[in-house]
């Protein structure tokens, strides 16, 4: 099985750096250096798997530190990268561990969350693989509802002569019974029974109990206890009246769960988390200690760094699925570093992020491309949303240019929030149209530069107003 896992993993990660960058270009505008860095890091993972086993353990991932303002694409690059290679991915705010209620929280929960993500991914893959068989089993259960199996004899001696009795019953009853099942099966295939209401028994999914140990070192113990109790306590079943269409979905999901071996899922998920997992540590600059100060809140920030350090440099974390090694997990840290510098991080942590890449602030040309080029560009999204109301929305070229210009200007005058500025501008621009859309008689709307200026120029031009509105 181990060989199978490694083979599948190799297939998922065999894209060349150029191919990875080209795929990222479909969703993210610019930031070539950052894309190249993550593409190389990912390719190096694949290269390390081709080495001798004795050397593989010594070749660790080259973690990445992204430097750039909010909204320039740091998170999106990491998230799209994980989707591209189907790798387990989580995003963690480093500042979370300095907030009230989180101070002293076990940072190993980062790894546990990554494993949980990996389990969900692998489980879904396994469910997809057994879907056809699950549908067949679900159909048999549906037929059982319409044509219940013949009741076995109540003969008290049946336990002694069970085989003979059952064979006799099967010889006497099948013709009528089987004919009824085939009749129902044909009607199901034709879709004639989809709206019929039937009564079925379904498993009650137990609601996860709140973790009384959350935020403490006993969190993992609590998870394990809940898992053990869940296995020991039988699942309750209750009757529901549903349509045949709904029943088929319920039965298919239950049958798929039965066909999936969770022990296999757990083993593969742990392996995927260890060798393909990606952890995105955002706002790492917020826990940096600037100018060598180590008093008050700075102690807490430095403590968070030292708590994170063992995970980044490689350690073993206990989870309810077994021990997980973090040696080969790819860590991508990111921060604006406006008030702090990468050198303000503790030296041990700095050394674990050898790849440094600075993401550039977005300019007018970038905003124009963001509005129009990506697969699901912002303009396409808003046009589709209003299209639901029958509105045919079209943005003229001069409108796109004007929006990009305003986004650049407002970012310069106020806080630079990158591409997120486009969302605030577009929401304000289309506010009136979105409100009136259901009642409009004129369904063909063209947004030009004059329309943009009429809706936004006053706000964008007034520095004090734009600070609070845009």
pLDDT at 12 over 50: no
Lowest mean pLDDT among 102-106, 121-125, 435-439: 102-106
Looking at the predicted structure, is the pLDDT value of residue 29 above 80?
yes
The per-residue pLDDT for 413 is 80
What pLDDT score does 3 carry? 44
pLDDT at residue 115 is higher than 90: yes
- CATH fold label, 2-125+266-358: Rossmann fold (3.40.50)
Give the count of beta carbons closer than 10 Å to the beta carbon of residue 422: 23
The model's confidence at residue 362, banded by pLDDT at 50, 70 and 90, is confident
For residues 202-231, average pLDDT: 54
pLDDT at 323: 92
For 283-318, the pLDDT digits (tens) are 888 888 766 555 555 557 788 888 888 888 888 999
CATH 1.10.8.60 assigned to 364-461: yes
Q: Quick one: CA dihedral 165, 166, 167, 171, positive or negative?
A: positive
Higher-confidence residue of 380 and 155: namely 380
pTM: 0.76
Residue 11 pLDDT greater than 50, yes or no: no
Tell me the average pLDDT of the chain.
79
For helices 109-129 and 219-232, the axis angle rounded to 10 degrees is 30
5 — pLDDT class (breaks 50, 70, 90): very low
Inter-residue contact 391 to 446 (CB < 8 Å): no
**Alpha carbon distance 460, 452 (integer Å):** 11
pLDDT score, position 103: 47
Work out the average pLDDT over 97-112.
Answer: 69
Do the strands 89-93 and 392-395 form a parallel or antiparallel pair, or are they unpaired?
unpaired
Tell me which residue has tokens 């980062």: 110
Band of the pLDDT at 88, cuts 50, 70, 90?
A: very high
pLDDT band at residue 233 using 50, 70 and 90 as cut-offs: low
pLDDT score for 279: 92
Query: Boundaries of CATH 1.10.8.60 in the chain?
Result: 364-461
* CA–CA gap between residue 411 and residue 69 (Å, rounded): 11
The pLDDT assigned to 467 comes to 54
């Amino acid at each position: 099985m181990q060989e199978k896992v490694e083979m599948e993993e190799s297939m998922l990660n065999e894209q060349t750096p150029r191919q990875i960058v080209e795929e990222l270009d479909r969703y993210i505008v610019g930031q070539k250096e950052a894309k190249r860095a993550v593409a190389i890091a990912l390719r190096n993972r694949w290269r390390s798997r081709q080495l001798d086993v004795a050397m593989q353990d010594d070749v660790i991932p080259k973690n990445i530190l992204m430097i750039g303002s909010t909204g320039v694409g740091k998170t999106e690059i990491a998230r799209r990268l994980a989707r591209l290679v189907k790798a387990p991915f989580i995003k963690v705010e480093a500042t979370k561990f300095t907030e009230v209620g989180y101070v002293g929280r076990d940072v190993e929960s980062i790894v546990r969350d990554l494993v949980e993500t990996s389990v969900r991914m692998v489980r879904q893959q396994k469910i997809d693989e057994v879907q056809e068989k699950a549908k067949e089993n679900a159909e048999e259960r549906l037929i059982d509802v319409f044509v219940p199996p013949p009741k076995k004899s109540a003969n008290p001696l049946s336990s002694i002569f069970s085989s003979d009795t059952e064979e006799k019953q099967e010889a006497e009853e099948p013709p009528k019974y089987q004919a009824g099942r085939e009749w129902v099966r044909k009607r199901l295939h034709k879709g004639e029974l989809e709206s019929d209401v039937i009564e079925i028994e379904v498993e009650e999914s137990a609601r996860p109990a709140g973790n009384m140990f959350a935020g403490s070192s006993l969190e993992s113990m609590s998870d394990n206890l809940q898992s053990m109790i869940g296995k020991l306590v039988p699942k309750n079943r209750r009757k529901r009246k549903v349509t045949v269409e709904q029943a088929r979905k319920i039965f298919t999901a239950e049958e798929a769960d039965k066909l999936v071996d969770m022990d296999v899922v757990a083993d593969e998920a742990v392996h995927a988390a260890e060798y393909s997992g990606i952890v995105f540590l955002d706002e790492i600059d917020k826990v940096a200690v600037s100018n060598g100060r180590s008093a008050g809140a700075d102690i807490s920030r430095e403590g968070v760094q030292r708590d994170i350090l063992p995970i980044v440099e490689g350690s073993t974390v206990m989870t309810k699925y077994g021990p997980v090694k973090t040696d080969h997990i790819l860590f991508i840290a990111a921060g604006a570093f406006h008030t702090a510098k990468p050198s303000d991080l503790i030296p041990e942590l700095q050394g674990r992020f050898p790849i440094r890449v600075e993401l550039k602030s977005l300019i007018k040309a970038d905003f124009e491309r963001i509005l129009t080029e990506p697969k699901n560009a912002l303009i396409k999204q808003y046009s589709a949303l209003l299209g639901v109301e029958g509105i045919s929305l079209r943005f003229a070229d001069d409108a796109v240019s004007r929006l990009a210009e305003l986004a650049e200007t407002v970012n310069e005058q106020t806080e630079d929030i990158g591409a997120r500025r486009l969302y605030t501008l577009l929401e304000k621009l289309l506010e009136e149209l979105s409100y009136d859309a259901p009642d409009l008689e004129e369904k063909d709307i063209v947004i030009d530069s004059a329309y943009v200026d009429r809706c936004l120029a006053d706000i964008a031009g007034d520095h004090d107003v734009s600070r609070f509105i845009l």
